[in-house]
Copies of this chain bind each other. A is one copy, B any other.
């Protein structure tokens, strides 16, 4: 098939730059200084990038604490980073997950008295049970001990000791907005509540929280999106991280439209002039959102080809997307790569009316992860 580029497959590719990932980790570590360690949030398959390779890379950069959502995710990270690291499971312990917790030495994050009693029970006859963390809710009202239950925990020293707590955490609600008074309210509450427990390493900040300043750093910070190159706050000029991921789709076919020709499902696009279209092999099953389909008002989503932004035309379909390549200097070849995300992650998220996080976690399992 010599007339097609030799590296061309119809399968889309997510290019993950592990060097930049490592650099982002180092930049954040430099930012918080020596008194604070940088942990990594690698939940949801490291935000779609692949928890195994991301975990190993960050371990290589010095990371020794990882946060996942479920015990199944914890097992994958344990296999990637070896025994010399802490892995906390944010969504807590559960009966069906106990073998995973014990088998992979995962530390549950305890968020309620029900969980505290359950974990204490479950570990009663285990020889060397994993340590655990306590999550204090300070106003997000998602997971974490509410005030009344925290009161019960603090006054039940026997139970607390049985949990073998080695870390205390909370989570910010409005960290991207530096001006929100709620950040300081949560900080004060976290200080107050955590001071009622024995002295233990504390963590409070996600990526955005890091940029709120030293007072928010404590002993550990838990960035996610900043490691993966996404903007975390309302003031990107402050941020240190660089783009890590590009979603690449191969050009499968080129076609000319004549004036009046319709394109895609529901014929939502009609050519007003002669055009050259590239059909690329990635659709909403791969992470190109349907909402990027062009509307009556014009283009919504874009890709990058030959270093130029080219608009998506018509409806994004499950496995395919049509790009207007009329304006490019060179006619693309079959097998050329169209790039999504990359340097344009933020504007791409804006066009999808969602957050950069969701674009990353929606990248489909069919997409081959390629680490460079």
Contacts and interface: CB of A to CB of B under 8 A. Distances in A.
A252 B263 CA distance: 46
A344 interface: no
Interface stretch (A1-9, A32-40, A77-85, A303-311): A1-9
B91 A252 contact: yes
A45 B279 contact: no
Contacts of A285: 43-45, 47-48, 69, 361
Contacts of A212: none
Contacts of A318: 43-44, 47, 69, 357, 361
A122 B2 CA distance: 9
B279 A320 contact: no
Contact of A140 (B10, B143, B264): B264
Q: How many copies does the complex hold?
A: 2
A19 interface: no
Interface stretch (A111-119, A190-198, A240-248): A111-119
Contacts of A7: 95-96
A10 B97 contact: yes
Contacts of A115: 253
A365 interface: yes
Given A267-B182, A365-B45, A95 B4 contact: yes
A257 interface: yes
A318 B3 CA distance: 43
A365 B51 CA distance: 12
A214 interface: no
Interface in A306-325: 317-320, 322
A94 B354 contact: no
B94 A4 contact: yes
Contact of A355 (B47, B112, B290): B290
A291 interface: yes
Interface of A: 1-11, 43-45, 47-48, 69-73, 89-98, 111-112, 114-115, 117-119, 121-122, 137, 139-143, 146, 173-174, 176-177, 182, 250, 252-253, 255-257, 261-267, 277, 279, 281, 284-285, 289-291, 317-320, 322, 334-335, 353-355, 357-358, 361-362, 364-366
